[in-house]
Amino acid sequence: MATGGYVGKILRLDLTARTSSVIETEKYVQWGGGHGIGSAIFWELCTDKTVTGRDPKNVVTLMTSPLSGTMAPSASGRVEIQGIGTAGYPINWFTRSNFGGRFGGQLKYAGWDGIVLEGKADSPIWIDIINDKAVFRDAKDLWGKDTQETQQLIWELKENEEHGWTEIGKTRDSGRTTQKPAVITIGPAGENQSALGCLVHDAGNAAGQGGFGAVFGSKNLKAISVVGTGSIEIADPAGLFNARIWAKDEYAAAPGQQVEPNGPTFGVDPAPVFLYAKNPDGPMGPQACQGCINGCRARFETGIANESSCQETSMYKAFDVLAHGEGTDASYIATDLVQKMGVNSYELMQGMGYLYALSKMGVLGKGLEIDTDIDMSRIGEADFVIDLVDKISNREDIGEDLADGFVRAAEKWGRLEKDYAAGILDFPYWGYANHGYDPRAELEWGYSSIMGDRDMNEHGFNANFWSVIKHMMAGMEMPVSAEEYAKITTSKMVPYQDDMSMVDYSTENMYSESFAKLVVWQRHYTRFWKQSALYCDFRYPDFTNYNREDNVGITGDGEPKFWNVITGQDITFLDGIELGRKIWNLDNAIWILQGRHRDMVQFASYIYDIPLENSLVGPYYPMAGKVGDEWAYINTLGRSIDRDGFEEWKTHFYNLEGWDVASGWPTRETLEGLDLAFVADALAEAEKLGGV
């Protein structure tokens, strides 16, 4: 069995007993890495899958892939975290999140492919991993500290320098490094088990969704630190180096190259992705996760909100502008704050919109129906967001109501159905905040999210939306027509490559089998290539790449190339997608044991009842689609999802997956075809096997 890329051991930590043991990675190599291995381990070790996220019986995995810590471009830096979350509504689904930076590489260099967390410590601890040793340390001096202070305190402990190199262990040959420990930590929100708490690594890498901050807090786990001085074997080292240069020369933006605007894909330049109303324009330098082909963030002369980009920079934008008529420092302070305090900026962003609505409606405020000491008139100012985050972190005032997320808060306040119906509680799927790529316009985003367990956060088809918008803003013509986009994109979507209608976003096509194929393909592709092999969502899939004369991106060729040259395996792009299908089936089995059934797979009511008239980019939401027989970038605003149409679409989806159409449960035939007979047995025992 090819073993390149893997380091052979998974660290299993019993937080209750404060002991560690080793799981041989070999046992799970068939699941690939990342999510696949995490789901497989969770399946085995979490015996009661109906427990809630804060239950000590919850099993959490942090998993790398064979590509982590290697030169695989934009596939080296990410870590997949899984377990039962605290965010999902109405069920704390078994969920996933993911963070970048350098933690995954350090874990691999330490000799670990991943970490498993079980049980609950009887007092606050942090885990100190130095190569093959994992020590449980008392976190009393870290508890209560923000994510920056925590990391800095841990780094101070490690200073044992010999001429700039820190020696590990006592002998000349025990290993040395110049690198600071890589730490993942919660802030006060997680410590107090607020579902709005998240995990933060370095200045701006966060696993935000799913409420894993509260999960860590429920286990009395403050942080995990890792120092690794070892090395990762590579099956074909020269081949890997060549492949990296190939990717750089053939697909990447050259330094200082003026690239054609595109969504987040492989060929973009390393300008930081800022979404502030007024972007920082002082001196700054680029910053990227380990191994990235071209990074997406920066560090600043001010040192404020270092490594923050994209969503967390837009979090406070609307209210900053409403208060001041322009973007101000309040936005930078807000972004910096959520990184330091470890609070989910997506929840907070849409959540603040909800709180604003309630305050304008005379429902939320001092002495009002929902009583709060927070001065809602200060929304948009720095002091407002500091006050709100403080209350969330400490579960005070409305922070206590918000401790299970905004949707459950609405439920507590007796307003859930009515605020959903009014469209002011913009959380369309499973209690997760609207990503902005509304289900009514960008169909695959909503469908993928609702067929899963969370806001999917997969930009593969969204990238083209951004490409069109950016060209519109610049007054430039798109380098690919809608038809060309459809052709290039669908040609890569094996095994469905002959059906261009998969990316037809027209209303006529929105409930079709073709459109179900799109989502089926996406679930399988992302489950393996992105969430297990850990190719970064901000660079892959790369369908259209404008650095190329033919505009054809690296996806399909790039993903298996790096996988094989590192592991020594010989898998195809389709093999990976098939493995993704297997992992997806396992995940669904877990959800079914948690209580999932077709009937509960429904969006919030406003998605059906209120047509979307306005998007995050105004009165226009362009996606590829057909008008009659012609392809065009069509405006997908002005519609909602039809309930019956959605049921038709779900039936197509279940048929394509080989699942029972009435329940949405996989059949024995499908499961056995994937070597998942043991899953079929477990579902049968629970009387939840499809088609029985």
Partner 1 sequence: MAEFTEMTVEAAEKLRAEQPYEHRIHVSLLGKHGGFQPVPVLSASDFVKVTTGLNPVFSAEALARWVTERLGDAELGEAISAECADLALFAQAPVACALVAERLAQAEEVLGIAEPAVVEA
Partner 2 sequence: MVDKDTSSAGEIVPAEKTGTISRRQFFTGVGGLGVGIVLGGTLFNGLLLPDEVIAIPASQGYLLVDSKKCQGCNTCMMACSLTHHGVQSLSLSRIQVIQDPFAKFPDDKYIAQCRQCADPKCVTACPTGAMHVDTETGVRTVDVAKCIGCQECVYACEFNVSRAGWNFEEKHAQKCDLCLNTPFMDAEGGPGGQQACVAACPTGAISFVSEIPVQSDAGYEVNLRDEGWAALGYPIDDEGKVSPAEAALAE
Q: For the segment 280-299, give every residue that binds partner 2 (CB under 8 A).
A: 281-295, 298-299
Nearest approach, Cβ of 302 to partner 2 (angstroms)? 7
Nearest approach, Cβ of 47 to partner 1 (angstroms)? 40
* Contacts (CB under 8 A) with partner 2, residues 169-208: 172-180, 202-204
639 binds partner 2 per the rule CB under 8 A? no
> Residue 203: which of partner 2, partner 1, none does it interact with, CB under 5 to 8 A by kind?
partner 2
> Residue 50: which of partner 2, partner 1, none does it interact with, CB under 5 to 8 A by kind?
none
> Residue 302: which of partner 2, partner 1, none does it interact with, CB under 5 to 8 A by kind?
partner 2
> Residue 245: which of partner 2, partner 1, none does it interact with, CB under 5 to 8 A by kind?
partner 2
What the block records as the tokens of 625 is 């689609």
Instruction: Show contacts of 410-414: CB within 8 Å, 24+ apart.
Output: 410/354, 413/369, 413/370
> Residue 547: which of partner 2, partner 1, none does it interact with, CB under 5 to 8 A by kind?
none
- Measured at the CA of 400, the angle between CA 399 and CA 401, to 5 degrees, comes to 90
What the block records as the tokens of 153 is 């305190």
User: Segment near partner 2 (CB under 8 A), from 56-64, 158-166, 314-322, 341-349?
Assistant: 158-166
Q: How many CB atoms lie within 10 A of CB 543?
A: 28
> Residue 18: which of partner 1, partner 2, none does it interact with, CB under 5 to 8 A by kind?
none
581 binds partner 2 per the rule CB under 8 A? no
- Of the candidates 335, 341, 425, the one whose C-alpha atom is nearest the C-alpha of residue 382 is 335
Number of residues that bind partner 2 (CB under 8 A): 76
Nearest approach, Cβ of 248 to partner 2 (angstroms)? 7
> Residue 574: which of partner 2, partner 1, none does it interact with, CB under 5 to 8 A by kind?
none
Report the C-alpha gap between 110 and 127 in whole angstroms: 14
Select 297 or 454, whichever has its Cβ closest to partner 2: 297
> Residue 275: which of partner 1, partner 2, none does it interact with, CB under 5 to 8 A by kind?
partner 1
Select 276 or 485, whichever has its Cβ closest to partner 1: 276
Select 21 or 152, whichever has its Cβ closest to partner 2: 152
Cβ–Cβ under 8 Å, residues 409 and 592: no
Nearest approach, Cβ of 35 to partner 2 (angstroms)? 22
Nearest approach, Cβ of 293 to partner 2 (angstroms)? 6
333 binds partner 2 per the rule CB under 8 A? no
Select 147 or 262, whichever has its Cβ closest to partner 1: 262
DSSP 587-626: HHHHHHHHT--GGG----HHHHHS----BTTBS--EEEEE
* Contacts (CB under 8 A) with partner 2, residues 18-77: 69-71, 76-77
Select 235 or 310, whichever has its Cβ closest to partner 1: 310
- Of the candidates 448, 466, 489, the one whose C-alpha atom is nearest the C-alpha of residue 264 is 466
Sign of torsion over alpha carbons 529, 530, 534, 539: positive
Report the C-alpha gap between 46 and 582 in whole angstroms: 19
Select 245 or 473, whichever has its Cβ closest to partner 1: 473
How would you class 1 by CB atoms within 10 Å of its CB: exposed for 0-12, middle for 13-18, buried for 19 or more? Answer: exposed
Select 148 or 262, whichever has its Cβ closest to partner 1: 262
Select 430 or 437, whichever has its Cβ closest to partner 1: 437
Q: Is 227 left (phi over 0), alpha (psi -120 to 50) or beta?
A: beta
Select 143 or 465, whichever has its Cβ closest to partner 1: 465
Q: H or E element: which one contains 221? A: strand 221-227
Report the C-alpha gap between 635 and 92 in whole angstroms: 35
Sign of torsion over alpha carbons 497, 500, 505, 511: negative
Q: Which residues bind partner 1 (CB under 8 A)?
A: 271, 273-277, 279, 310-311, 314-315, 317-318, 321-322, 325-326, 349-350, 353, 356-357, 360-361, 422, 424, 435-436, 466, 469-470, 472-473, 475, 613-620
Report the C-alpha gap between 575 and 570 in whole angstroms: 9
Residue reference for tokens 């959605």? 646
Q: How far lies 612's CA from each of 476, 577, 626, 638, 642, in Å? A: 27, 33, 20, 5, 13
Q: Among residues 22, 254, 322, 677, which is the contact residue for partner 2, using CB under 8 A?
A: 254
- Of the candidates 534, 452, 570, 679, the one whose C-alpha atom is nearest the C-alpha of residue 108 is 534
Nearest approach, Cβ of 445 to partner 1 (angstroms)? 13
Q: Among residues 16, 302, 594, 655, which is the contact residue for partner 2, using CB under 8 A?
A: 302
Select 226 or 277, whichever has its Cβ closest to partner 1: 277
Paired residues of 22 in beta bridges:
11
Contacts (Cβ under 8 Å, ≥6 apart) of 354: 406, 410, 419, 424, 425, 426
* Contacts (CB under 8 A) with partner 2, residues 211-240: 229-234, 237-238, 240
> Residue 96: which of partner 2, partner 1, none does it interact with, CB under 5 to 8 A by kind?
none
Report the C-alpha gap between 41 and 85 in whole angstroms: 16
Q: Among residues 1, 123, 256, 687, which is the contact residue for partner 2, using CB under 8 A?
A: 256
Select 79 or 268, whichever has its Cβ closest to partner 1: 268
Exposed e or buried b for every residue in 271-297, given b needs 16+ CB within 10 A?
A: ebbbbbbbebeeebeebbbbbbbbbbb
The backbone torsions φ and ψ at residue 329, rounded to the nearest 5 degrees and listed phi first, read -60, -20
Select 19 or 377, whichever has its Cβ closest to partner 1: 377
